[in-house]
């Protein structure tokens, strides 16, 4: 049985409690490490034929650092991904190409959509939590 995402996040927290050097980084440093790891992932993919272990290693590095960054900033990654899915549907569905969709979607519209979506999502989650408590 594979561990769920929440368990993985808890494992990272526990690991970081025991490995001191993992706790001395700023959010900017973690973002910089993430950028480095993304470049390494790109290098693996650019080879054309990659081996599974190299790809898994680099993807693991990226995911680990993204989880760390989310933990440090208080961002719920599942909420972030769900909001991205909703935004993609709103922004791209029915559009003939990516460039046209982007041209019709300003930064302000993006921010407004996400702000509304997050509020609605959190309200629904709070209602579900209330029902569970009863």
Question: For 5-42, what is each residue's pLDDT tens digit?
Answer: 888 888 888 888 888 777 788 999 999 999 999 999 99
Q: Quick one: 43 and 100 in the same domain? A: no
Phi, psi of 76 (to 5 degrees): -85, 110
Please tell me the total count of domains within the chain.
2
Above 80 in pLDDT, residue 71?
Answer: yes
- Return the number of other C-beta atoms located less than 10 Å from residue 123's C-beta: 10
> Using an 8 Å Cβ cutoff, are 13 and 72 in contact?
no
User: Could you tell me the pTM of the whole model?
Assistant: 0.79
C-beta atoms surrounding 65 within 10 Å: 21
Indicate if 67 and 106 belong to the same structural domain.
no
**Shared-domain flag, residues 12 and 59:** yes
Residue span of the structural domain in which 103 resides: 78-133
* Pair (10, 70) in one structural domain: yes
Mean pLDDT on 77-105: 88
Residues 64 and 109 in one domain: no
What was the pLDDT predicted at 1?
66
Instruction: Compute CA distances 11 → 2, 58, 63, 76, whole Å.
Output: 13, 19, 13, 16
Are 66 and 91 found together in one domain? no
């Amino acid at each position: 049985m594979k561990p769920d995402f929440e368990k993985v996040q808890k494992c990272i927290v526990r690991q970081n409690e025991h490995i001191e050097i993992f706790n001395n980084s700023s959010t900017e440093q973690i973002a910089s490490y993430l950028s480095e790891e993304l470049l390494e992932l790109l290098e693996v993919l650019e080879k054309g034929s990659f081996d599974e272990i190299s790809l898994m290693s680099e993807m693991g590095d990226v995911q680990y650092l993204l989880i760390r960054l989310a933990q440090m900033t208080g961002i719920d990654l599942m909420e972030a991904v769900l909001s991205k899915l909703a935004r993609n549907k709103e922004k791209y569905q029915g559009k003939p190409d990516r460039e046209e969709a982007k041209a019709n979607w300003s930064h302000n519209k993006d921010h407004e959509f996400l702000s509304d979506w997050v509020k609605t999502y959190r309200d629904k989650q709070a209602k579900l939590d209330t029902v569970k408590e009863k």
